[in-house]
Amino acid sequence: MMRRGAINYTLETRLNKLDFKNISKLCRMLDIGHKWKEFVCVVRSPYDPDTPRYTMEHVGMFEFEGNKPGRSPTQCIIEDLNTVNVTLKNLKSWLLEIKHFQAVQWLVRDVLKEPFDQESLEQPSWGSSGGPHVRLHPGPAETPVQQERYQAASNEPSQTDSSIIRSMVPPTPPHTEEVLYSSQSEQQSHPTTSASTDTIQSNSISSSSISTFSLLHEVPPDGSDNNMVGNHESKLSHFPVAMETSGNFPVEQDESTVPGSRRNFSYEKLQIMTNDFNDLPLEQKGNLIGRGGFGSVYLGRREGLEDLAVKRLTEDKAAVEKLYKTELEILLRCTHENILTLRGYSEDGPQFCLVYQYMVNGSLEDRLACKNCTPPLSLDTRVGIVTGTARGLDYLHGVQRSVHRDVKSANILLDENFQAKVGDFGFARQGPVDGKTSLKTEMVIGTNVYMAPEAWDFKISEKLDSYAFGVILLEILTGLPAFDSNREESGLPSHVEDVSDNDTTQFKEMLDPKIPEWPDEVVDLYFNISQACLQLNKRKRATINKVLLDLEKLAHNVPSLPMDGTMKQSMV
C-alpha cells in the first residue's frame, strides 16, 4: 500500500516533482567523476529535440556555482531543468545516452518502482550513442566524503563532452507576450514603487546567450507556455525550496542573494517577513513601501539576513496573471547592474508575489521631491543616475530586444549607493525585428506625461522609451514633478516649452535651485538630449544608444563627473 502523500512517479512525471531525497541521489551520481559534464552535453530543448540546451559558457557557470559551499554542478542543472517541461522520460533518455547505467537502474527500480531488466534497456529517444541494446555495468562507487560533499573524483573532462560542446549554439531568448489590459486610472500618474537588487554581470557569457543558469526560461515555438503560470502550483519549481528543511544544505544559507539565483518563496514565509502584509506605511512602523495600479510593495524583514521588498499583485489572479508572467520572463533573462533583478517569486498563495532586494533609497521620483525630508540629490548623484538609467535601457533595447513601455522616474530605483535600476517590467514587450521600425499593439499602455504621440496609435518601438527618458532628464534638471495639475501646463515637457520656449539660456532659469552651481557642459548636453528625445516625429527622435554615447563622452571630457551611478550621495 502506498504511503499517504507519496508520489506515484511515471515516465510522464515532471522532473520538478521529484522529491528531495531522489534529487540528492541524482546529484551524487552525476557529480562523481564529472559525469554531469557528459550529461549537460546531451540535454536537448524540450521544444526542439534537435537543439542543444546548453553552451560551453553554461558549463563554466555550472562548474563555478557548483563549487560553492552546499552546492553542486548537477544541482544547478536540475534547478534550470525544473523551469521547463522536462519529464522523467527525458531524464532516462539522457542518462542512457551517456551510458550512466547505474543512474538508469536507480531511476527505473527505485523511483519508478518498475522491474529492471538490464538486457532490454531502450536506447534514448533524443539521440543515440550505441547499438540497439546496452548492457548494465557498475557505475563508480561513492565514498563517504563524496556523498557528503558532492565532489567529483576526477578533474579530467571526458573526450565526449569537449567535442559536443563545441558544436552547441546558444539557446533562443524567450518571447515576451503582449499585455492586453490596462486601466484608465493607471494611465494617469501612478507612482508604482518597486525594489531592485545589485547584480553581478558574468563576463564569461556572450550577449547572445542566456546569462543566468538557474532559470533559463524558454517558450515553445508556438508561443504557448504551460510552465509559467496556470494552475497556481509552483510552475517555476526551484530546487533550493526543498533545501529549507532537508539534507546537507544549510537552512540559513540565503541562496536568494547568489547572482543568477531566484528562490521560490512560499506565500506563508512572505506573510511572516511582511508582518502579514502590514498596510501601515514604513514611517508609521508598518511594512508598506508603496502602492501601484496592480499591487503593493512591502518591506520583508528577515532576522540575520538582508531585508527584501515584496511586491504583492492584486487579489484577482486571473486579471494580473499576464502582467506577472511578463515581468517574470523579462527579469529572469536580464543580468545587468542597471536592471532590476529578482530575488525570488511566489505562486502558491492567493496572490502572485515578486521579491526584490530592498532599495533603501527608494525611487528617483521620491528623491527628487525630497520625500520624507530626505536630502536633495547632489549633482554627481544625478549624473550617475542619468548615465546608469541610459545603460539599463540600452541593454534592454540592444541585448534583450525589448521595449519597457512604462519608463518614468517612479520606476527608476536607487540602491544604497544611489545606483539606478530600471524596474517594473509588467508592460514590457519584445521590440520590432527583421528591419521593422515598430509593432502594433492592442492596448495603449503607459503613464500619460511620459507617453510618445505614436503610443496613442498603438505603435511600439524603442523610441517610446527614448521619449520617456527625455521627460526624466527634465525632471533631473528642474527638480519638478513630471505631472502637476496646479501648473497651467500640467505636463513637464509642455511646461518647459511654455516657460523657456525651449531655449537653453531661458531654460537655465528653471534649473533646480537645490544644486548651487550647474556646470554648463551638463546643462547644455542634458537639455539638448531631452529635446532630441522629445521629438514628436519618431524618426527624428534619438535612440537610447546614441544618447548613451553622448553621456559617456561627457563623463570622459569632464573628469570630475562620475562614470556610473555608484557614487555615494554627497551633501549639497
Asked if residue 463 belongs to a known ligand binding site, the reply is no
pLDDT at 458: 80
Same-domain pairing of 97 and 193: no
Of 334, 357, 380, the last residue of a domain is: 357
Q: Of 359, 377, 360, nearest to 368 (Cα)? A: 377
Query: Which residues, including other chains, have CB under 8 Å from residue 148's CB and lie 6 or more apart?
Result: 248
pLDDT at 155: 34
Number of H helices, E strands in the chain: 17, 14
In a domain, 2, yes or no: no
In a domain, 158, yes or no: no
- Compute the half-sphere exposure of residue 546: CA atoms within 13 Å on the CB side of its CA: 14
pLDDT at 148: 36
Same-domain pairing of 343 and 441: no
Q: Is 307 a catalytic residue?
A: no
Of 307, 340, 357, the last residue of a domain is: 357
Same-domain pairing of 369 and 501: yes
Give the CATH number for residue 42. 1.10.533.10
Same-domain pairing of 340 and 440: no
C-alpha cell at 162: 569537449
Same-domain pairing of 496 and 544: yes
In a domain, 178, yes or no: no
In a domain, 26, yes or no: yes
Query: Which residues, including other chains, have CB under 8 Å from residue 117's CB and lie 6 or more apart?
Result: none
Contact between 214 and 76 (Cβ < 8 Å): yes
Same-domain pairing of 344 and 454: no
In a domain, 456, yes or no: yes
In a domain, 36, yes or no: yes
Same-domain pairing of 380 and 301: no
Contact between 104 and 117 (Cβ < 8 Å): no
Same-domain pairing of 405 and 525: yes
d(CA 436, CA 357): 37
Same-domain pairing of 345 and 408: no
In a domain, 338, yes or no: yes
Contact between 29 and 77 (Cβ < 8 Å): no
pLDDT at 444: 63
pLDDT at 410: 94
**Distance in Å from the first CA to the final CA of the chain:** 74
Same-domain pairing of 403 and 540: yes
Q: Of 162, 69, 86, nearest to 77 (Cα)? A: 86
Give the CATH number for residue 262. 3.30.200.20
In a domain, 170, yes or no: no
Domain range for 86 is 15-147
3-state secondary structure of 177: coil
- 111 DSSP 8-state letter: I
Same-domain pairing of 197 and 297: yes
Give the CATH number for residue 437. 1.10.510.10
Please count the structural domains in the chain. Answer: 3
Of 357, 384, 399, the last residue of a domain is: 357
Q: Of 513, 325, 331, 352, nearest to 422 (Cα)? A: 331
Per-residue pLDDT of the chain (572 residues; tens, 9 = 90+): 444 445 789 999 989 888 888 998 999 999 888 899 899 899 987 666 777 888 776 787 788 777 777 788 898 899 888 877 788 999 999 999 998 988 999 999 999 998 877 655 544 443 333 333 333 333 333 333 333 333 333 333 333 333 333 333 333 333 333 332 233 333 333 333 333 333 323 332 232 222 333 333 333 334 433 333 333 333 333 333 222 323 333 333 454 544 445 678 999 999 999 999 999 999 899 999 988 778 899 999 988 888 999 999 987 788 788 888 888 888 888 889 999 877 899 999 999 999 988 899 999 999 999 998 999 999 999 999 999 999 999 999 999 899 999 999 999 999 999 999 999 988 888 876 555 655 656 566 678 899 999 888 888 899 999 999 999 999 999 999 999 989 989 999 999 999 999 888 999 999 999 999 999 999 999 999 999 999 999 999 999 999 999 999 887 776 666 655 444 565 44
pLDDT at 47: 64
Query: Which residues, including other chains, have CB under 8 Å from residue 321's CB and lie 6 or more apart?
Result: 229, 352
Among 31, 161, 225, 406, the active-site one is 406
Residue type, 201: Q
Same-domain pairing of 377 and 464: yes
- 142 DSSP 8-state letter: P
Residue 12 region by backbone torsions, left for phi larger than 0, else alpha for psi between -120 and 50, else beta:
alpha
pLDDT at 313: 92
